[in-house]
């Protein structure tokens, strides 16, 4: 008897549910990702404003500042994407950016209080959202 005759004439049943998909990130992480994405867009906006304000006597400073803000905006965009997808590696850059934001809020509190409140509010919200136990569990850390 050949091995072909031992096989059933029909394919084996397939499990309709398929492989178990990883759980989606919780709403807190999605909100944190949206806030970090908004911060990223703000940095890109600062980049555009800095480039628009270039003058002949400060081209080097303006271009250097623009490159720096653009790079920071791209890193935050990557972190926002990672948080949205529940990637653990995205939490570190997001936390560091929020700590820097808290420092900036503190240093601008007297000159531009509205900006300081916005910076501190978004930074504290993101920190609270990504450091929650459920977020830590979702991110696998």
pLDDT for res 4: 59
Token pair 């930074």 in the structure block, residue: 123
Does some domain include residue 62? yes
Across the range 58-84, mean pLDDT stands at 94
Question: What is the tally of structural domains in the chain?
Answer: 1
Q: Is residue 2 over pLDDT 60?
A: no
- Sign of the alpha-carbon dihedral angle for 89, 94, 100, 106: negative
How confident is residue 138, by pLDDT bands cut at 50, 70 and 90? Answer: confident
In contact, 65 and 50? CB cutoff 8 Å: yes
* pTM of the model as a whole: 0.79
Does some domain include residue 9? no
Radius of gyration of the chain (CA): 24
Q: Is residue 35 over pLDDT 90?
A: yes
In contact, 119 and 101? CB cutoff 8 Å: yes
Does some domain include residue 4? no
Does some domain include residue 18? no
Domain around 88: 27-138
Q: What is the mean pLDDT of the chain?
A: 87
């Amino acid at each position: 008897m050949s091995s072909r005759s031992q096989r059933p004439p029909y394919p084996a049943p397939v499990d309709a549910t398929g492989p178990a998909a990883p759980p989606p990130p919780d709403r807190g992480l999605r909100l944190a990702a949206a806030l970090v994405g908004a911060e990223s867009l703000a940095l890109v906006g600062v980049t555009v404003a800095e480039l628009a304000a270039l003058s002949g006597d400060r081209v080097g400073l303006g271009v250097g500042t623009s490159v720096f803000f653009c790079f920071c905006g791209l890193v935050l965009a990557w972190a926002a994407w990672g948080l949205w997808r529940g990637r653990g590696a995205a939490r570190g850059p997001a936390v560091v950016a929020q700590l820097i934001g808290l420092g900036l809020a503190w240093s601008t509190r007297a000159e531009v209080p509205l900006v300081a409140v916005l910076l501190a509010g978004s930074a504290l919200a993101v920190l609270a959202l990504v450091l929650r136990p459920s977020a830590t569990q979702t991110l696998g850390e």
